[in-house]
Amino acid sequence: MSQHDEFIRRCYELAVSAANKGNHPFGAVLVHNGRIIVEAENTVTTGDDQTRHAELNLVVEAQRAYPLSVLHESILYSSTAPCAMCAAAMWSSGIRKVVYGVAYETFANMIPGKYRYMPIEELYERLGTPLESVRGVLEEEGVKVYDHWPEP
């Protein structure tokens, strides 16, 4: 079992928890020195706010609670590859390490319509900031989380 599995599984739990409340099934955690210090869920529907993705909620809470030095050292785990909005918010907040479950291509193939995206790796590179990223952790389990997607 990879060292990342435990934290990605927690993201999947949070994603299911979000769906059970009527939100989109996405979750994220922030890990510092091997310990979860922030957890966040998607709150788009319950918050009536289309920007409230799990990662954006996480960034807000992390910046309230911790200094830049902690954010620099932490790893953001996410159930699915982050969108460009969240990736840019993570970049601004000082996060430099990311691990995600379902990869961009996989997500794009799972949902109806054409899903266009700019990968976080490309955004950080464009902004001249090194990013450590690991993708596709427990991806098959992550895809099953979408079964919980609430009816529109």
- Phi then psi for residue 45, to 5 deg, are -80, -50
Q: Toward its own copies, which CB reaches closer, 85 or 111?
A: 85
Please state whether beta strands 27-32 and 97-102 pair in parallel, antiparallel, or not at all (unpaired).
unpaired
Q: Toward its own copies, which CB reaches closer, 114 or 147?
A: 114
55 catalytically annotated: yes
Based on the shown chain and the rule CB under 8 A, indicate whether residue 98 belongs to the binding site for its own copies.
Answer: no
Could you please report the per-residue DSSP string of the chain? Answer: --TTHHHHHHHHHHHHHHHHTTS-S-EEEEEETTEEEEEEE--TTTTT-TT--HHHHHHHHHHHHS-HHHHHH-EEEEEEPPPHHHHHHHHHHT--EEEEEE-HHHHHHHSSS------HHHHHHHTT---EEEE-TTHHHHHHHGGGPPP-
Based on the shown chain and the rule CB under 8 A, indicate whether residue 51 belongs to the binding site for its own copies.
Answer: yes
Based on the shown chain and the rule CB under 8 A, indicate whether residue 89 belongs to the binding site for its own copies.
Answer: yes
- CB of residue 53 vs its own copies: minimum separation in angstroms? 10
Based on the shown chain and the rule CB under 8 A, indicate whether residue 56 belongs to the binding site for its own copies.
Answer: yes
Q: Toward its own copies, which CB reaches closer, 2 or 92?
A: 92
Partners of residue 99 on adjacent β-strands: 77, 134
Q: Count residues binding its own copies (CB under 8 A).
A: 26
- CB of residue 58 vs its own copies: minimum separation in angstroms? 11
Which among 6, 41, 55, 140 is annotated as catalytic?
Answer: 55
Based on the shown chain and the rule CB under 8 A, indicate whether residue 88 belongs to the binding site for its own copies.
Answer: yes
Chain residues binding its own copies by CB under 8 A are 48-51, 56, 59-60, 63-64, 83-85, 87-89, 91-93, 116-118, 123, 126-129
Catalytic residue IDs = 55
